[in-house]
Amino acid sequence: MHTPSTTTSPESGRQLLLHHFDDLEQQHLSSNLGMWFFLVSEVMFFSGLIAAYTVYRAWSPEAFHLASRHMDKWLGFFNTWVLLTSSLTMALAVRCSQVGDRRGIVRNLFLTLVFGTAFLGVKATEYRTEINHNLFPGKHFIVPGSPEDPHAHAAEGSHEGGEGHEGAAAHASDYERLREASTVDGKLDEEKFSRNKGHFQLMFVLYFFMTGVHAFHMIAGLALVALFIVLTQIKWFSGYGQTQIEVLGLYWHFVDVVWVFLYPLLYLIE
Amino acid sequence: MSASAPARHDGPPADYLSESTVKSWLLTVDHKRIGILYLISVTTFFFVGGVIAGLMRLELMTPRGDVLGSADTYNRMFTMHGVIMIFFFLVPAIPAVLGNFLLPIMIGARDLAFPKINLMSWYVYMIGGLMGVYILLHGGIDTGWTFYTPFSSMYSNTQVVTAALAVFITGFSSILTGLNFVVTVHTMRAPGMTWFRMPLFVWSHYATALIMVLGTPVLAISVVLVGLERFFGVGVFDPKLGGDPILFQHLFWFYSHPAVYIMVLPGFAVVSEIIPCFARRPIFGYRFVAFASVAIAIFGFLVWGHHMFVSGQSMYAGAVFSILSFLVAIPSAIKVFNWTATLYKGSIKFDTPMLYALGFMGLFTIGGLTGLMLASLAIDVHVHDTYFIVAHFHYIMVGGTVMAYLGGIHFWWPKMTGRMYSDLWGKLSALLVFVGFNLTFFPQFLLGYLGMPRRYFEYRPEFQVLNVMSTAGATVLAVGMVVPVIYLLLSLRGPKNAGPNPWNATGLEWQIESPPTTHNFHEPVLVTCEPYLYSPEEAEREYAHAQHDHVA
Amino acid sequence: MSELHQSSEAHEQSHHVIAVKTYVMIYWVLMALLLATVLASDMPLGGAHLLVAMTIALIKAILIVLFFMHVYYSAPLTWVTAVGSFLWVGLLLGFLLSDYFTRGWLHILGK
């Protein structure tokens, strides 16, 4: 059904018009707006998670702070840098498509691909460290320093010291500090303690889920970027794919914006 | 469907139904064909849900549980009834069938902005729907359609994960439809089709689409969280881990209250078209009705907490939600009053669609007014989780949406198929639906007020009379639902006798052939006037003329 | 047919080509803000940490949305869409928190 109503050679830089649109402006505007409204629904998707995060963090700030210390903020810093850079290259790729620089499109999309992959690589090593420390929620989850923790007796606070940015007061294990935070007038409030332990794990649930959903969006985006590199290379797009690349760019920047919020929310809790 | 070969000669272009291979249907990107695909699937689910409802009413004929065997089966029945009716029928019903078919034509476009995404939304819907069927065949679920935690996440041993996934997937179909509608209304209007020349059908669907885009993702995330909680044993709603089960209710109702407007706004859309046509008068207060749709879409997001008055939600938040809930009544009332004012001094003709539209107005008003009762904290605490609630939302959902759906199908059937149906049978079945509906659900108001709780398969013997009435009404209602299927399908065997405009209606869809051609319009559309330019004077003259002929 | 269409003006705007210099400048501002947010997390700000972090994140997001996503040069509708989505998140959070923060206010006997 989508027979183009005009055939143009890709070299001429003109774009094809689908049958149900009147002109290219209308077609471009529709695609652009369509992506925007898709992003609105994506924002609402993440907002459900942000809501859960807000409620539990307001409830147990101490547990969230302790859990956040297990995330390496400098790796997060690096990743944010990488992602912001990929956003720049993506923006430049969109610009190249607007001015009709095909080699520029390919170059910038390729850089985006490299940075995006680097982000996922770093994220994967972070996940591995956390899983090795029994911080993946579920039946293997152990609050560091708790009686079940195998590391607790072997090397007191060894992996915590390894993170380098702990003050001297931070030698107490998470377990002890959660216990401390649940003590009211020198008496341990069992209910509060169990809630604090729960929220400590909940932070990891939210961390893994939010960054996981974000990483899923990255993977989808990277697949599209790779596809677009090939399509631009073989001149599959009519024109220079202005509309398509611009829409992909919107998606990519959105994924970036999500990370801009996730980084301080997950890594930088004091 | 018509089996005539695609016209290759120089005659008028073939209508959209002329290709009849299976492939031409499954790979179509024509909004009209996708509308028909939705019509078939949505109606099928409606009857599946209806059969389950019938079984439940059968069970409730007697105070003792004797038909279904166990309370557990009954739990699964009412859950499946709710899940199927809401996610697979009510939400997609009018937008995906009539909206898909009519929205582009009404604004003078050749198709929706994204025809392929439109087809994709149907496939996504069908995947969700097939999972629904799978759940039904594999024991169903027993959480109620609301999936409340912690029961759904920790205790229920039924197909909760599959159901969560099915709802998640179906949600995407809804988002895609909404997205398509919003963009189409913004970018695809024909020259001259300004915002205030759009039919109210389009306004209402625009508002609906906004809710779909803004609300559905939150439902998606909340059911995913329930699924994860069950699957990995960790979750954000588990009280053992310090989670708050009420958070689920918040997220769930953030979508599911606006979803009520996803279901009923398209009903408003249909009624706003039918009433002026059969009263032969322009709609009263066009702009008020148009803005009321948008206002409902926005207010709808501010009131979700009124579903949670007894959940443990803070009393202060409850009070705020209660007050805001009253606000929603304002735009809804604007609509009802304006329809009524449109009828005033009109030359009313009681054709089948009009009967449904009038039924809608009455029943929706009852449903809306009882909604105000339920929005008051004190009354809600008293009747919460009783049949009063059940009756209230069935007055909105069945009395509103289903009536409008049937009215719309009857109104645009000649346009969709090119054929008229038997008017006598149409009126008869409209009457059956109206009577059957009231007999089914009015007793439930009384039952609820007397204190019969919902979601139980046994009840105290003193409630039996009203329950038997309700079951009897359900039988009448069922007949009223089946009859249209028969005569509408039978009409397909007849010749294409409808002509382009059987109701003498305004609107772009009535200026093209019935059934329309693939690209809807043969030449560029230019809109130069407002919608609903019906002339009461002309109707009066025609009436006098007909009387004169009759006497002579 | 194109002259009949209403939105050609919006199109002119949406195809505005932004200079490379602008993009790079925005990029460096983003970098500076990123550094600021990390450094701020180590500073003794008392209870203001969340506020500072979120303000910086919001500024970063706004810059990305305005320039990388071209909203600054786009039709009003795009503005409405972008602002609206933030507004709706606020709506969800606002009403949600109105419940959680007031739950303890009412003293219930025996609880």
Confidence category of residue C4, pLDDT binned at 50, 70, 90: very low
Confidence category of residue A187, pLDDT binned at 50, 70, 90: confident
CB contact C100 to B (< 8 Å): yes
pLDDT in tens, B480-525: 999 999 999 999 999 998 889 999 999 999 999 989 998 899 888 8
* Ranges A99-113, B231-245, B309-323: which has the least confidence: B231-245
CB contact under 8 A, B220 and A45: yes
φ/ψ (deg, to 5) at A29: -60, -40
Nearest to B105 by CA among B16, B7, B23: B16
CB contact under 8 A, C98 and B320: yes
Model pLDDT, residue C109 = 62
Residues 6+ apart with CB under 8 A from B456: B71, B74
Report which residue type is found at A226: A
Domain ranges in chain B are 29-551
φ/ψ (deg, to 5) at B86: -80, -55
pLDDT in tens, A78-95: 999 999 999 999 999 999
Question: Measured over all CA atoms, what is the biggest interatomic distance in chain C, rounded to whole angstroms?
Answer: 75
Chain A hits for C99, CB-CB cut-off 8 Å, are none
CB contact A140 to B (< 8 Å): no
Residue of B nearest to C89 (CA): B214
pLDDT in tens, C51-107: 999 999 999 999 999 999 999 988 899 999 999 999 999 999 999 999 999 887 877
CB contact A33 to B (< 8 Å): yes
pLDDT at A170 over 70: no
Model pLDDT, residue A242 = 87
Model pLDDT, residue A151 = 67
Mean predicted lDDT score pLDDT of chain B: 92
What number is the average pLDDT over the span B389-407?
96
Q: What does the alpha-carbon distance between residue B20 and residue B519 come to, in Å, rounded to a whole number?
A: 17
Question: Is C50 within a domain?
Answer: yes
Model pLDDT, residue C17 = 87
Confidence category of residue B546, pLDDT binned at 50, 70, 90: confident
Q: What count of CB pairs under 8 Å joins B to C?
A: 48
Question: Is C38 within a domain?
Answer: yes
Q: Which of A23, A31, A108 to mutate to test the interface with C (most CBs of C within 10 A)?
A: A23
Q: Is there a contact between A40 and B214 (Cβ–Cβ < 8 Å)? A: yes
User: What ipTM was estimated for this complex?
Assistant: 0.91
CB contact A233 to B (< 8 Å): no
pLDDT in tens, B97-106: 999 999 999 9
pLDDT at C5 over 50: no
How is residue C75 written in tokens?
């039709």
CB contact B232 to C (< 8 Å): no
CB contact under 8 A, B234 and A141: yes
Q: B residues 151-180 near A, CB within 8 Å?
A: 175, 178-180
User: How distant is the Cα of C105 from the closest Cα of chain A, in angstroms?
Assistant: 15
User: How distant is the Cα of A140 from the closest Cα of chain C, in angstroms?
Assistant: 31
Residue that wins the pLDDT comparison between A22 and A13: A22
Q: Which of C60, C63, C73, C95 to mutate to test the interface with A (most CBs of A within 10 A)?
A: C60
The partner residue sitting opposite C4, judged by closest CB among B191, B301, B320, is: B191
pLDDT at A211 over 90: yes
pLDDT in tens, A237-258: 878 888 999 999 999 999 999 9
Q: What does the alpha-carbon distance between residue B145 and residue B162 come to, in Å, rounded to a whole number?
A: 13
Domain ranges in chain A are 46-267
pLDDT in tens, B182-238: 999 999 999 999 999 999 999 999 999 999 999 999 999 999 999 888 888 777 898
CB contact under 8 A, C102 and B314: yes
pLDDT in tens, B343-382: 998 999 999 999 999 999 999 999 999 999 999 999 999 9
CB contact under 8 A, C24 and A88: yes
Pick the CATH number of A46-267 from 3.40.50.720, 3.20.20.70, 2.60.40.1930, 1.20.120.80: 1.20.120.80
Chain C hits for A91, CB-CB cut-off 8 Å, are 18, 23, 67-68
CB contact under 8 A, A41 and B214: yes
Give the domain extent around C56. 17-69
Q: Which of B256, B315, B528 to mutate to test the interface with C (most CBs of C within 10 A)?
A: B315
**In chain B, % of residues over pLDDT 90:** 81
User: How distant is the Cα of B550 from the closest Cα of chain C, in angstroms?
Assistant: 49
Pairing of strands A183-184, A187-188: antiparallel
Model pLDDT, residue C60 = 96
Q: What does the alpha-carbon distance between residue B340 and residue B288 come to, in Å, rounded to a whole number?
A: 14
User: How distant is the Cα of B254 from the closest Cα of chain C, in angstroms?
Assistant: 7
CB contact under 8 A, B242 and A60: yes
**In chain B, % of residues over pLDDT 70:** 97
**Which pTM was predicted?**
0.92
Q: What count of CB pairs under 8 Å joins A to B?
A: 126
Confidence category of residue A5, pLDDT binned at 50, 70, 90: very low
* CB neighbour class for B91 (10 Å; exposed up to 12, middle 13-18, buried from 19): buried
CB contact under 8 A, C49 and A58: no
Chain A hits for B29, CB-CB cut-off 8 Å, are 1-2
The DSSP-derived string for B54-91 is HHHHHHTTSSS--SSSSHHHHHHHHHHHHHIIIIIIIH
pLDDT at B322 over 90: yes
Rg over CA atoms, chain A: 24
Model pLDDT, residue B443 = 97
Q: Is the peptide bond before B239 cis (omega within 30 degrees of 0)?
A: no
Report which residue type is found at A120: L
pLDDT in tens, B299-320: 999 999 999 999 888 889 999 9
- Between CA C57 and CA C67, with CA C62 as vertex, the angle to 5 degrees is 130
User: How distant is the Cα of A266 from the closest Cα of chain B, in angstroms?
Assistant: 16
Question: Is C43 within a domain?
Answer: yes
Confidence category of residue B537, pLDDT binned at 50, 70, 90: confident
Model pLDDT, residue A153 = 54
Model pLDDT, residue A18 = 85
Residue of C nearest to B303 (CA): C95
CB contact under 8 A, A28 and C11: yes
Topology classification of domain B29-551: Cytochrome C Oxidase; Chain A (1.20.210)
pLDDT at B96 over 50: yes
Residue that wins the pLDDT comparison between B403 and A180: B403
Model pLDDT, residue B39 = 97
